[in-house]
Amino acid sequence: MANVPSIPEPGKLILLFFALLLFYVRRNA
């Protein structure tokens, strides 16, 4: 793992969206 990004941009956006969604659900539960 030198200069190869572990997560490509689309995957990073999906991961960020999922994290925000999970945070929102846990907050309003």
pLDDT at 28: 87
pLDDT at 9: 77
Q: Which of 1, 5, 28, 3 is nearest to 15 (CA)?
A: 5
Encode pLDDT of 1-29 as tens digits.
Answer: 566 666 667 878 899 999 999 999 999 87
SS3 label, residue 13: helix
pLDDT at 27: 92
CB 21 within 8 A of CB 29: no
